Amino acid sequence: MLVVMRNDATEEQVQAVIREIEKMGLRGVPMPGAIRTAVCVLGNKGPVDAALFLALEGVKEAIPVTRPYKLVSRETHQESTVITVGDVKIGGGEPVIMAGPCAVESEEQALTIARFVKKCGASIFRGGAFKPRTSPYSFQGIGEKGLKILEKVRQETGLYVVTEATDTENLAAVEKHTDIIQIGARNMQNYSLLRLAGRAKKPILLKRGMAATIEEWLMAAEYIMSEGNPRVILCERGIRTFADTTRNTLDLSAIPSIKEASHLPIIIDPSHAAGRRDYVIPLSRGAIAVGADGLLVEVHNDPTHALSDGMQSLYPQQFEQLMKEIERLKQFL
């Protein structure tokens, strides 16, 4: 249930609606919009009686919400959400490029790549400090040391930084040292981690699970929002199918699906989807043309010696080429 207030409703009237909801043993979350406020009713198992609210002052209408998710839904929040990180706006019409190596390997490596992607026009630096790895024997990232390198990257280059929090233990450190907290595909349904991310003060970049439906993905975002963090960026990174010329199948139809169902921004990670650097440029062009709010791209100064996932990292000259193509494509939008 969504209780939509009149344009001229007072804060006191909004609070009265919330008190009424709480009397029913439920929660009322105000969702302020550009021209009016709506109050979202959470915690009900079945339908809630609209008449109760319509009788209150300042209430315009009470709309039953038909989807299982509420806070992330475009039904409850019609305008697209723009997430601001410093002077970067994600979801604001201009695609945002997040680029960097799969893993932070050293200060020198990170700074070299960061300066390069900055020069090419990227606004956010990506790099893993904690790496979730299929094998316990694989390189697991350099941990906290990597976070400090990311902080240095921000100081030296002015790029904002995003990195993955792989568990409830390292999320606080990731929040402290970086600008955007990534939740990886394997953790999309790690509800303890989602809840903690929901109490963080930084935006969350939530990757789609390899076998997650659009609804399950939005429910994961709902976990974050229901804890109080409204700043969620969705990231499609390929789904698991029978197709075998790419590591995963990039599902670009997720963009219109998300735009229809939710007000949250969505970006695309072509590097993990394809698993092959040669497909990253064409798929990036496709993502932007379909309407993605940004890209998350892997680039490395020396892919053949990368400690992690070199196969899918762009060579510097390829990244430069990508940025030129995106720049031209932006004029089309």
Residue 250 interacting with a copy of itself (CB under 8 A):
yes
Instruction: Examine residue 216 and tell whether it contacts a copy of itself (CB under 8 A).
Output: yes
Q: Does 210 bind a copy of itself (CB under 8 A)?
A: yes
Residue 297 phi, psi (nearest 5): -125, 140
Kindly state the smallest distance separating residue 20's Cβ from a copy of itself, in Å.
19
- Residues 154-193: x where in contact with a copy of itself by CB under 8 A, - otherwise, as a string: ------------xxxx----------------xx-xxxxx
Q: How far apart are CA 267 and CA 250, in angstroms?
A: 12
Three-state DSSP class for residue 137? coil
Could you please report the per-residue DSSP string of 165-200?
--STTTHHHHHHH-SEEEE-GGGTT-HHHHHHHHT-
DSSP, res 103: B
> Given the complex with a copy of itself, which of 204 and 283 has the nearer CB atom?
283
The nearer residue to a copy of itself, 107 or 216, going by C-beta atoms, is 216
CB of 313 to a copy of itself, least distance (A): 17
Q: Which is nearer to a copy of itself, 4 or 283 (CB)?
A: 283
Torsion from C-alpha of 298, 304, 305, 307, nearest 10 degrees: 50
Interface pick for a copy of itself out of 181, 273, 322, 323 (rule CB under 8 A): 273
Cα–Cα distance for residue pair 303/45, rounded to 1 Å: 52
Distance, in Å, from the CA atom of 309 to the CA atom of 273, rounded to the nearest integer, reads 12
Classified as helix, coil or strand, 110 is helix
Instruction: Please check whether residue 14 is in contact with residue 28, taking contact to mean a CB–CB distance below 8 angstroms.
Output: no
Please, what is the Cα angle at 96 between 92 and 98, to 5 degrees?
A: 150
The residue within the footprint of a copy of itself, chosen from 109, 123, 182, 257 (CB under 8 A), is: 257
Give the distance, in angstroms, between the CA of residue 149 and the centroid of all CA atoms in the same chain: 22
Place of tokens 């196969």: 311
Q: Please give the residues from 128 up to 157 whose contact with a copy of itself meets the rule CB under 8 A.
A: 132-137
Show the site string, 67-86: x = touches a copy of itself by CB under 8 A, - = not.
Answer: -xx-----------------
Cβ atoms of 248 and 272 closer than 8 Å: yes
Strands 59-63 and 2-5: antiparallel
**Using CB under 8 A, which of 86, 172, 256, 305 touches a copy of itself?**
256
- Residue 61 in contact with a copy of itself, rule: CB under 8 A: no
CB of 57 to a copy of itself, least distance (A): 28
CB of 184 to a copy of itself, least distance (A): 9
**Interaction between residue 40 and a copy of itself (CB under 8 A):** no
Q: Least distance in Å: CB of 303 to a copy of itself?
A: 18
H-run or E-run covering 294: strand 294-298
Name the residues that contact a copy of itself, by CB under 8 A: 42-43, 68-69, 132-137, 166-169, 186-187, 189-193, 195, 209-211, 213-214, 216, 219, 222-223, 226, 239-246, 249-257, 260-261, 273-274, 278-279, 282-283, 285-291, 328-329, 331-332
